[in-house]
Structure 1
Amino acid sequence: MTAEFLTGLADNLAGAIAFGWVVVGLFFFKFWHHTRDRFFLWFALSFWMEAVNRIFITISSGDESDPLFYGIRVISYGLILLAIWQKNQPLRRRDRDRP
């Protein structure tokens, strides 16, 4: 196997991973659209950020440990933690009265 073949294979796999993150983000966005629960919106944004991050890593042929790419990943995981934290907060009076 040549280095060119392996590079092309790695790029195709990165594209497939990014596509998977976009699809999962759309899945969560669909649930947000139906429920208007921010939990699903934060998850959708997180997965879309991961997809964009993967595309930029592939295009730039950069190292994943680059602080820019790592920082985007930390923010993405932070959105997931924010979603979980908000979901576990007690409901405000205005939200409890809603059907």
Structure 2
Amino acid sequence: MLPTTSSFFTGALAALYAVAGLFFLSFWKRTRDALFASFALAFALLAVNQTVLALGGLEREEQSWVYLLRLLAFLVIIAAIVRKNFEGRRRR
């Protein structure tokens, strides 16, 4: 794939991650549910990750510090789901 095409798709993916983050943020504003705030944060981290990839020109993403942003985003999602499941069990 050409470098400009790759940068275009990386930028488009960053924009879509940002839109998804804003979508979850709007749900959080209505419900004040921490799950939605966590998902908004995770998608913001993924958008930053893709933006750095697009602008940084890194050839091997998995061998750079940028990969840690993606890892942190997925850890936030996992922690939010686990927290939500434990909240549901305490209410019963």
Superposition TM-score tier, normalisation by shorter sequence: 0.7 to 0.9
- 3-state secondary structure, aligned to 1:68: coil
The structure carrying a bigger helix percent of its residues is 2
Q: How well do the aligned residues superpose, as a CA RMSD in angstroms?
A: 1.8
Structure 1 unmatched ranges of 5 or more: none
Q: How many residues align?
A: 89
Structure 1 position 34 matched with structure 2 position 48: no
2:72 match: 75
Tell me the CA shift for residue 70 of structure 1. 1.5
User: 2:64 and 2:7 mapped to 1: Cα distance?
Assistant: 21
Q: Give 1:66 deviation, angstroms.
A: 2.3
Unmatched runs of 5 consecutive residues or more in structure 2: none
Aligned ranges 1:1-99 → 2 under 5 Å: 6-62=2-58, 63-90=60-87
Q: For the pair shown, which has the larger CA radius of gyration, 1 or 2?
A: 1
**Percent of matched pairs sharing the same residue:** 36
TM-score of the aligned structures, taking structure 1 as reference length: 0.82
Taking the aligned partners of 1:90 and 1:50, their CA distance within structure 2 comes to 26
User: Which stretches of structure 1, 4 residues or longer, exceed 2 Å deviation after superposition?
Assistant: none
